[in-house]
Amino acid sequence: MTKKADETASFMVRFTQKIYEDNGEPNVQWRGKISHIQGGDQKSFVDFDKAIVFMQEKLAELTREATQDKTPEEQDGILNKSFDIWKKMTKVGPKLIIDTIKDPKKQVAQLQDQIQDQISQVSDEISSKVEIDQWRAASRSDFRKLMDTVNQLSKDVASLNQKVDKLSKK
């Protein structure tokens, strides 16, 4: 029997803006602090790549703990698969952060759209995998509502048939 490990890792990222002058030129620097919520560890960074490394290290620890019963080769394979998300993050993460700093409202709207798309995809996937045996049995009130709806539809169809007959006679 395989052991299923469901782990949660949450991170909070805070940014602080420092505006300063360098040789009479105004400059800005964003600094950050990332915290691993479950473990309480945190790290300060100026380069966002350091925050990504911090997250990768924490996630690797969780993956190693969850795969202690596997061979070293299996652990490495699972660990490599678990970091596929970082391949995507390294491509879009820094741009997303810069765009969010420039236009937060636009980015929030885009993130909401992406989240909604993901919810729809997951919903479609779940609904296609739900076995009929897992559905609850219809109650009497469900049956009555269904019968009332069918009766009303029958009346509507009969009424439409009468109207069609009148039109066809003309």
Local confidence band at 130 (pLDDT 50, 70, 90 cut-offs): very low
pLDDT score of 58 more than 60: yes
Considering only residues 57 and 98, tell me which one the structure prediction assigns the higher pLDDT.
Answer: 57
With cut-offs at 50, 70 and 90, classify the pLDDT of residue 65: confident
What is the arithmetic mean of pLDDT over 119-132? 59
With bands split at pLDDT 50, 70 and 90, how would you rate the model's confidence at 170?
Answer: low
pTM above the 0.75 mark? no
Percent of the chain with pLDDT over 70: 77
Spatial CB neighbours of 2, under 8 Å, sequence gap ≥ 6: none
Task: Say how far apart CA 124 and CA 59 lie, in whole Å.
Answer: 28
pLDDT tens readout for residues 19-54: 888 888 888 888 999 999 988 999 999 988 888 889
**Spans of all domains in the chain:** 1-102
For residue 56, give the nearest of 16, 83, 36, 35 by alpha carbon: 83
Q: How confident is the model at residue 138 (pLDDT cuts 50, 70, 90)?
A: low
Q: Average pLDDT, stretch 119-128? A: 62
Asked whether the beta carbons of 52 and 43 are under 8 A apart, the reply is: no
Query: Scanning the structure block, which residue is given the tokens 């964003």?
Result: 30
